[in-house]
Structure 1
């Protein structure tokens, strides 16, 4: 299979007509005659940007011609530039071949720190260009042959060998698509390689995901090594499925489980499916709607015991909790010091599970030391097994649904792989998508240090440069409004600054989470929550405001799609795929929004797609619509209401699994919204944003939650197209109007 990895030549004489230029072009031609592509440039340019070419190259040839050493000063500059370039390359890639060439200069003219990084030293005109070309190509091909990790290499070989497919899937390597015009379109869009590599588990040479054998197992072992864990299991159904696998391997009906109240809904699904009795740890929240950390004292064993004793279904269970599941990190990037959690809990909980869907990058950089579940040189807990479930597709370079489960064994317990695999088989597909498996394999290989460390560090630097750019814009606008990026007040002028700056300290106003324990929480800088004007962290509304839903709708129509939208905030992530161009485009798009808002441009001009779908807004200005929504939010004191509904006390009336069973048996009533107070829900009630379940099956509606639902009904009627989305609400037409219901346990 032909891959494009050119050999890059950096020589200021590459296009010159002197002897040096003629010589290097002769070498380039000889390399091309051997079938390798050559890219020739005349200077290093911006070192850091150019060094990123290492991901596209199979080798570098660097000049130290006489012209570059014509004086002591020139020689010193040339060595300094060469050293900087080599350091930039090796920071990302320890293996790519580097060659030096010149006419008269030798290794005597270069310091050892450069020489030790080289694969060869070429003297012009001592050998034929053809011989030198073959020498360089040999090293380049050896390097390329080492790149593919185990499963991806096996998949490449399978796709290349031309075997006829008699197994499923039925498109038979893409051939079925060629028999239909619309299938031809599909084939041309996705391409031959993707379709030839879409195979079933009957292909023995690729190994088995279901029993973790062959190249699949080799890749999982390789990923476990890279991620510093004892075991790794690839999952092709997303981290929702990874969570369920961990739970079904650990939890049985009647077990007590300790869970982050603001966990992902897949954890609540796991509670329902396993028949567990949940005891919840309550996170803090601020009035921006940002979820904060669970206070450290909530993890104290005596406080957990008090919660168990207060739960009518858990108080008589004598065994210790089977699992603790914590969301690490929160949506907005708040992290926990895992070692402090382990020390606090001791051996009072059987298994520790950290849902790190948004944190697979942390193990590769010292900035996150102790702020993730499993890492290099981390102590093993005495008794509990530690599980980390990670979405490689969210923060790393995995395809959608690519996920993995990492395991750290304790001092006294090892993972029983066969028993664990029974839970794995319960939830995985017997027809996994092999491209997703390959992306898990590649995502891990990409993070092999030092390259993975460099990728994470670049993400951190880009996020800090974005924050600095936003502050610079704010300073220039002076008294005029601008957006804020949520985070510490102090920000280093250059570089990464001090890690301690990102620790959340007690009673700091910027975060609004109150009296936090020292050193317990860290904000991940690559998670950026942008605050729009109109609301402060205390929940007080200004006279005017800009609801975030309008900003993100504007951005979407201008080609910028964000991750999550709150009342007066929206969220972006600086994954390893984010570039300067992307975040600078966001800054300019926000500038355009400000200009259009200040001019009160008509919506038909600035939001044409939105107005086409909802013509009632055609004559309204952008600022006018923002003000209308802001006034409604302020009148309902919505910031405090949405905080209180999540922090209000929930006393379970039924076990979650029993309440859900009522729905499965159709022993439910579809209760009108205004009659919900005191009723027991049979479903998950989940407002978006933030996508955190508000009620789980078996809990009662209280007055605060009903008030929020009544607000959502009024808002949806008044502002069509800006609907508050709440999963679990049933919408039906009654007398020409939309009425809302929730399925509750039958009285």
Structure 2
């Protein structure tokens, strides 16, 4: 018989009292409480100082109750007493039981506000230990039972029953794995609970994801309340599927779709599946190659209708009401719209607007992002005569959920899609065998954002990102004072300080100001740092937690300076030190300061950046800092140093005009000869051929060509590759040359097949 790892929950309680551990009446009373808790199998944590108690109370999320001495000071600050400790606890957790340990005379100093923050008063020297511990234990049970949402609560209760399973999945709670050595090792690796909660739709007590009944249906209502929607849906195959569901529910064949060109590949899939005719809206780009917002004028009805009339695929459809519009918010690089401004342009004439917020699910829960997300404000205030608004969240990206977990949120307005009709499309993409832990983790992501904890958790991420940005800024300023170089983070150089009325350097600004004032992150017109010209004020802001570190080499006009190196060099250096980044563009590296980031993590990153600078300046041999690279490609890298490699890479970028071709390619739309749906039909009917890059001019592309980075379609299915000396083929030629010159630093371009160094693209047969 295998020993169980499934231990019953054990409660933990904090006793914070200045007399803990002393031979005094209060100290002995605290000891009696600890002994009684131990008898009840409750673990006790103690603190005799207020500062220690505050550290424990705000960092140990496994505490189920806290007993706080009303007379306890916090450090040497007389104003930071037990009241401050209670405030700190409530700022993170509105529901954990707080018992105030006091005496009748001292209790007179309590006011109504503090009494509302606590659960009970305890007369430490009058009540008995068994009575007090019984009250605390009862409160802890109620608290623990209310921690979870409806789905996780039901799943936990079902798990505790340990019912025999006569249904799928065939591993029946994991026991099948125990019949084989490899299966046993697999079972031990993941632990028992994940197998016990991998259940079948046959378990009726948990409800149905496809019918939205039972605890699963209640879970979606619970998620809807927290995220401010009229309806929310749990999706178990990522926001790629969520986007496709919305597309197919909203768009019919040959209907015009307004589509952000800065789109995820799943939106291309939606066009293919629905048969919609895209009218692309081109976003802006800056000198670093970072994708910016779609300017408000490009949402204007007259402008868009003229573009529809001028596009061969949609000619004659300019009088048709566009069925749908989709906008990416925030962008991969962290730029987010003033949503009301976007809707003021689209809302009067487009009935359904979809914001793809895969990377922005946390925004509703911190006031810094106010007005920047689709589910903003009170859902009851949503105008029923305004457009129906959809948004999707990848809860596994920057919230705490398992991979593939996603939400669809809906606010019904004009031409709303009733749930029964919408659910037909939902079921088309859903599975009758969903993975229940994904559903549970999706709910847990909402639970963690509910109430005070959402604001506290998001603020921590914001604060860590700010501290990192400011420290990099100070190091850069020190380097420039010595006419030296260092990295910079992409954000404003100066911000307005309302308290002084003056502008201050970003790195010197108050972290509190940067963490609470949205204007510090708005892309104001005329500010040189962001690189977007003629931008409407307050229209777009930068998300602080998406930190782009910029390399030297790009000048303010977008040209290459005399010296510099590409971002891929830093990424390779960090990889060799066990640090993985989110995205690498030509001269920028993106780091995500998600909920899991700590000071230790970003301090390690900063230390690695300082080491890179040292090794770059010293031209340290690659054989010492990237030995695997030299071992894999000795003919290219033997005897080369880090700076020497950076210089060669920089000159290659200059020679091939890679950045210039990238900018031109993404600031225009290729000629469209077929819709994405028709191009896909050519693909599946094998009316395609593989064409080498040298013969690609003027050919019609059968599959999208998506360079990574930036991970945005350069050519969509049915579009042409353009002239041989045009930007699309020019950019692919530059990538091909780079891949040949710098093995180990090759590009990943979806839609391009590489054989013996040659680039091939699938094209529709002429």
Q: Within 5 Å, which residues of 2 pair with 1:63-462?
A: 63-64=69-70, 80-102=80-102, 105-317=105-317, 318-377=319-378, 379-380=382-383, 382-410=385-413, 412-462=414-464
- Write the deviation string for residues 429-465 of structure 1: whole angstroms up to 9, x where unpaired: 2211111100111101111122112222222222111
Q: Provide the rounded CA distance (Å) in 2 between the counterparts of 1:328 and 1:482.
A: 31
Q: What is the SS of the residue equivalent to 2:279?
A: strand
SS of aligned partner of 1:232: strand
Is the CA contact (8 Å cut-off) linking 2:51 and 2:75 kept in structure 1? no
Distance 2:336 2:647 in 1: 35
1:746 aligns with 2:765: yes
- Give the distance between the partners of 1:629 and 1:355, measured in 2 at CA: 35
Structure 1 residue 502 corresponds to structure 2 residue 521: yes
In 1, are the aligned partners of 2:25 and 2:125 still within 8 Å (CA)?
Answer: no
Partner of 2:742: 719
Q: Matches of 2:683 and 2:475 in 1, distance apart? A: 53
CA apart distance, 1:164? 1.3
Aligned to 1:598: 617
**Structure 1 residues 137 and 53: alpha-carbon distance in aligned structure 2, compared to 1, 3 A threshold:** farther
Aligned partner (choices 620, 637, 651) of residue 640 of structure 2: 620
The answer for unaligned runs of 5 or more in structure 2 is 1-6, 495-505
d(CA) in 1 for partners of 2:53, 2:269? 50
Q: After alignment, is 533-542 or 683-692 more displaced? A: 533-542
- Once the 2 structures are TM-superposed, how far is the Cα of residue 655 of structure 1 from its aligned partner? 1.5
Aligned with 1:496: secondary structure? Answer: helix
CA distance in structure 1 between the aligned counterparts of 2:29 and 2:594, rounded to whole angstroms:
43
Q: Please tell me whether the aligned partners of residues 288 and 536 of structure 1 are also in contact (alpha carbons under 8 angstroms).
A: no
Listed as ranges, the gaps of 5+ residues in structure 1 are none
Q: Provide the C-alpha distance between the structure 2 equivalents of 1:505 and 1:651, rounded to a whole number of angstroms.
A: 34
- After the TM superposition, which of the residue ranges 112-121 and 566-575 deviates more from structure 2? 112-121
Cα offset for 1:176? 1.3
Higher mean C-alpha displacement, 231-240 vs 444-453:
444-453
Aligned mates of 1:510, 1:178 — CA distance in 2 = 59
| Counterpart contact for 1:529–1:569, Cα < 8 Å | yes
1:731 aligns with 2:731: no
- Cα displacement (A) at 1:570: 0.7
1:647-678: CA deviation from partner (whole Å, max 9, x where unpaired)? 13422111211112111111112111011111
1:149-185: per-residue Cα shift (whole Å, max 9, x none)? 1000111111111111222222111111111111111
**1:729, 1:740 within 8 Å by CA — same for their partners in 2?**
yes
What are the equivalent positions in structure 2 for 1:2-13 lying under 5 Å apart? 2-13=8-19
SS of equivalent residue, structure 2 residue 312: coil
- Any conservation in 2 of the 1:54–1:96 contact (CA below 8 Å)? no
**Counterpart contact for 1:79–1:110, Cα < 8 Å:** no
Give yes or no for the alignment of 1:589 onto 2:608: yes
Further displaced range: 495-504 or 426-435: 495-504
Q: Is 1:53 the equivalent of 2:56? A: no
- 2:657 equivalent to 1:637: yes
User: How far is 1:8 from its partner?
Assistant: 1.0
Structure 1 residues 437 and 537: CA distance shift in structure 2, 3 A = farther
Change (3 A) 1:230 1:156: same
2:232 partner SS: strand
Displacement of 1:334 after TM fit?
0.8
Partner SS for 2:511? coil
Question: Which range is displaced more, 320-329 or 531-540?
Answer: 531-540
Aligned partner of 1:654 in structure 2 is 674
2:714 to 671, 688, 694: 694
Q: Deviations over 1:257-312 (max 9, x none)?
A: 00001111110111111111100110010121100111110011101101110112
Q: Which region of structure 1 is more displaced relative to structure 2, 560-569 or 1-10?
A: 1-10
Checking the alignment, whether the CA contact within 8 Å between 1:354 and 1:388 is kept in structure 2 is: yes
Alpha-carbon distance change, 282 to 525 in structure 1, aligned in 2, over 3 angstroms? same
Do the aligned partners of 2:657 and 2:734 also contact (CA within 8 Å) in 1? no
Please tell me whether the aligned partners of residues 552 and 565 of structure 2 are also in contact (alpha carbons under 8 angstroms): yes
Tell me by how many angstroms 1:106 deviates.
3.4
Query: In the superposition, relative to structure 1, how do residues 678 and 76 fare at CA in structure 2: closer, same or farther (>3 Å)?
Result: closer
Deviation at residue 215 of structure 1 after TM alignment: 0.4
SS at match of 2:80: helix
Q: 1:611 to 1:103 in 2, by over 3 A?
A: farther
Where 2:251 maps in the other structure, the secondary structure is coil
Measured in 1, the distance between the counterparts of 2:681 and 2:287 equals: 36
Partner Cα distance (1:52, 1:450) in 2: 12
Residues 75 and 449 of structure 1: is their aligned pair in 2 closer, same or farther, counting only changes over 3 Å?
Answer: closer
Please give the secondary structure, in 1, of the residue aligned with 2:42.
Answer: coil
Check the 8 A contact 2:622/2:641 in 1, yes or no. Answer: yes
Q: 1:429 and 1:315 mapped to 2: Cα distance?
A: 39
Count of residues in Structure 1 that have an aligned counterpart in Structure 2: 736
- Structure 2 CA distance for partners of 1:78 and 1:138, relative to 1, 3 Å: farther
- CA distance change for structure 1 residues 679 and 147 in 2, over 3 Å: closer, same or farther? same
Instruction: Look up the match of 2:503.
Output: none
- Find out whether 1:36 has 2:42 as its counterpart: yes
Change (3 A) 1:75 1:504: closer
1:89–1:75: structure 2 CA closer, same or farther, 3 Å change rule? Answer: closer
Match of 1:484 among 463, 473, 488: 488
SS at match of 1:175: coil
- How high is the TM-score relative to the length of structure 1? 0.95
The residue aligned with 1:493 is: 510
C-alpha change, 1:178 and 1:611, in structure 2 (3 Å) is farther
Give me the TM-score of the superposition, normalised by structure 2. 0.93
